[in-house]
Amino acid sequence: MNRVVFCALLVLALCLAASYRPVDAAAGPTVTPAPPTPSVVVAPGLTATPTAAPLPSHILVETWVTGTNVPVALAWGADGYLYHTEKNLHVVQVRDASGALIDSIALPIPAADITDIYGLALDPAFPNQPLFYVFYTHTEPLSNRVLRFRFASGVSSDPVLLFSAPVPGDCLEHNGGKLAFGHEGALYVSFGENCIDALAQDMTIPQGKILRISPIDGSAWPDNPFADGVGPNDDRIWALGVRNPFGLTIDPDTGNVWESENGPGCGDEVNRIIAGGNYGWPVSSPSYFECIDPGASYHLPAWSWTPTIAPTGLSFYSGYRLRGWHGDLLMCAWRTGRLYRFRLDASRTRLVDLQEYDIRPAACKLDVVAGPDGSLFISARDEQAIYRLSSEALWLPLLRR
């Protein structure tokens, strides 16, 4: 083989191994990728990061709120208010359509018991049922918890502890901690492995899992895939093998569950989570080969990244204000601050295209949700801001000419 042909083949091999790859998660465990050979293992560090495109010119980016304190989770209520957690302030903030802060909801437990608040969900019947669900880290005993409480007439009340899991080591990271309601009424919880890899495959504990519980009392949802009514396996488990799932959302069209998670230096993922699915961590990632060979026995990601981008908030865009975006899956990323927009196929089970947007000077680092008017609301930590992306009327630029 002459040198030119050899180089061409090597470049082709690197490109194939390193490129973004939408993977058919629906194919499941029957897909058996060929094990990598050493000649392509160098690929992870060479993966090209696609160039982010600017937003379409008719989309306006505004700083909606400044001076926030780690707004990890955003949720619009049907009452027209935005509710968001403040990770370090131990409250749920309430903002009106102008962004003005109109209330700060203290949880009905001692503030000294709270380290951080991560996830937030509003009851499906909100505001008729003014029930809030928060995922937070409790101080003593040190544990990750899901708390339901009522907030009405300016008063928080009726705390119900739906879930509590002791922190198994000394790592208070990889908590995940996002909450989402399924169409059947179950509460889904994305729970990280608290930095202990092996826990993600341990069926007796909830770490490293997607859980599906009753929002009434926190019990396992009756038809959970591993529910048998007895121990030692945890009947609340809906899916397993996840690392640090910092995004969780439900497709409003299908009820499908989607998750984003942070990989170990490679292999950041978006997954479509199905009942009983094993998403591989850490068994699929035991070595330097982890980003090349996800293994044959696990559900492959719907999308993956190397090098990592640290995916965070994830939600579907159900609005119409951003023309052509309806039904797309949106995501933020901690490392890049870009806005990620995925298109799905007709079955809405696969991601078939990704567009990355550079929205500077704004940043999409924590969460992204659509507001009631179809605008997008995006949060970032270091910038202490919530941004709004809305669509300028298409005829306005013509008027300005």
Size of the site for Ca ion (CB under 5 A): 5
Residue 145 β-bridge partners? 136, 164
Q: Judged by CB under 5 A, which of 202, 235, 356, 367 binds Ca ion?
A: 235
Given 279, 325, 340, 387, the residue binding Ca ion (CB under 5 A): 279
Q: Shortest gap between Cβ of 213 and Ca ion (angstroms)? A: 14
Q: Are strands 53-54 and 351-358 parallel, antiparallel or unpaired?
A: parallel
Question: CA angle at residue 338 from 332 to 340, to 5 degrees?
Answer: 60
Stretch that binds Ca ion, among 10-18, 73-81, 156-164, 280-288 (CB under 5 A): 280-288
Contact flag: residue 268 with Ca ion (CB under 5 A):
no
**Interface stretch with Ca ion, choices 70-78, 115-123, 276-284, 386-394 (CB under 5 A):** 276-284
The continuous run of DSSP H or E covering 161 comes out as strand 155-166
Cβ pair 156, 105 in contact under 8 A: yes
Among 214, 219, 233, 349, binds Ca ion (CB under 5 A): 233
Residues 6 or more apart in contact with residue 23 via CB below 8 angstroms: 300, 301, 302, 303, 304
Residue span binding Ca ion (CB under 5 A) among the ranges 73-81, 211-219, 272-280, 369-377: 272-280
Residue 210 tokens read as 């997607």
Give residues 121-180 in contact with Ca ion (rule: CB under 5 A): none
223-262 burial, b at 16+ Cβ within 10 Å, e below that, comes to: ebebbeeeeeebbbbbbbbbbbbbbbbbbeeeebbbbbbb
Q: Work out whether 305 is an interface residue with Ca ion (CB under 5 A).
A: no
- Contact with Ca ion (CB under 5 A): which of 277, 280, 282, 295? 280
What track of x and - describes contact with Ca ion for positions 199 through 228 (by CB under 5 A)?
Answer: -----------------------------x
Interface with Ca ion, residue 193, by CB under 5 A: no
Where does residue 69 rank: exposed (0-12), middle (13-18), buried (19+ CB within 10 A)? Answer: middle
- Point out which span in 3-11, 273-281, 332-340, 365-373 binds Ca ion (CB under 5 A): 273-281
The CA distance from 139 to 163, in Å, is 15
CB closer to Ca ion out of 235 and 251: 235
Interface residues with Ca ion (CB under 5 A)? 228, 233, 235, 279-280
